[in-house]
């Protein structure tokens, strides 16, 4: 016969185990690969509010998130997302863009530049590049904007992004809007 205290302890351990499997920075999918939802969706008028107001609830990918080897592609994806989130923060801060159409234009420029830099990094390795990177022009952007894991830029419940330094290299061109 099991005591009620023993049964309670058992359920607490089960709940902590189940809860712990779904939280924290490091999440691994069924293929034993880091879970990096990629690619990010193109900024639109429909997802701009979430891009600007829910950024702290979307994952960032620190070096400790990834295994020591065999994850270089996922590291590049994580770096691209970190870079993009940093640049989105710049676009949404109001320092450069005062109107929604300027904020959207800035976010779209950041999206294209972050993904272009991602493709450059993909081609700088001895592996096959991400399939969208083989395209150019509008075909590349259409490819990146298909099969999106988080098209509405929803936050991850219970998650708060760790602070990451501002990524250099992005300049908003208001004349291109």
Average pLDDT over residues 29-38: 67
Q: What is the domain partition of the chain in residue ranges?
A: 36-153
What is the helix (H) or strand (E) element at residue 75, kind and residue range?
helix 72-92
pLDDT band at 62 (very low <50, low <70, confident <90, very high): confident
Average pLDDT over residues 27-43: 73
What residues contact residue 80 under an 8 Å CB cut-off, 6+ apart?
Answer: 38, 40, 114, 115, 117, 118, 121
What is the helix (H) or strand (E) element at residue 107, kind and residue range?
helix 100-123
Both ends of the chain: CA-CA distance in Å?
A: 73
Average pLDDT over residues 146-162: 92
**pTM for the whole thing?**
0.78
Rg for the chain (alpha carbons), in Å? 19
> Does residue 7 have a pLDDT over 50?
no
Compute the distance between CA of residue 103 and CA of residue 93 in angstroms, rounded to an integer: 9
Q: Which residue has the higher pLDDT, 120 or 97?
A: 120
The pLDDT of residue 12: 38
- The chain-wide mean pLDDT, for the chain, equals 81
The pLDDT of residue 149: 93
The pLDDT of residue 21: 34
């Amino acid at each position: 016969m099991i005591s009620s205290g023993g049964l309670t302890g058992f359920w607490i351990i089960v709940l902590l185990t189940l809860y712990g499997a779904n939280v924290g920075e490091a999440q691994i999918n069924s293929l034993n690969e880091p879970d990096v939802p990629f690619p990010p969706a193109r900024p639109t008028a429909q997802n701009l509010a979430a891009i600007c107001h829910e950024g702290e609830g979307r994952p960032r990918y620190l070096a400790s998130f990834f295994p020591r080897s065999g994850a270089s592609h996922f590291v590049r994806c994580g770096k691209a997302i970190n870079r993009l989130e940093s640049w989105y923060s710049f676009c949404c801060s109001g320092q450069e863009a005062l109107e929604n159409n300027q904020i959207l234009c800035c976010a779209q420029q950041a999206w294209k530049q972050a993904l272009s830099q991602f493709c450059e990094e993909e081609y700088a390795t001895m592996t096959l590049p991400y399939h969208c990177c083989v395209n150019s022009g509008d075909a590349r952007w259409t490819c990146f904007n298909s099969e999106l894991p988080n098209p509405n830029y929803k936050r991850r419940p219970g998650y708060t992004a760790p602070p990451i330094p501002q990524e250099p290299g992005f300049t908003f061109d208001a004349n291109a809007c």
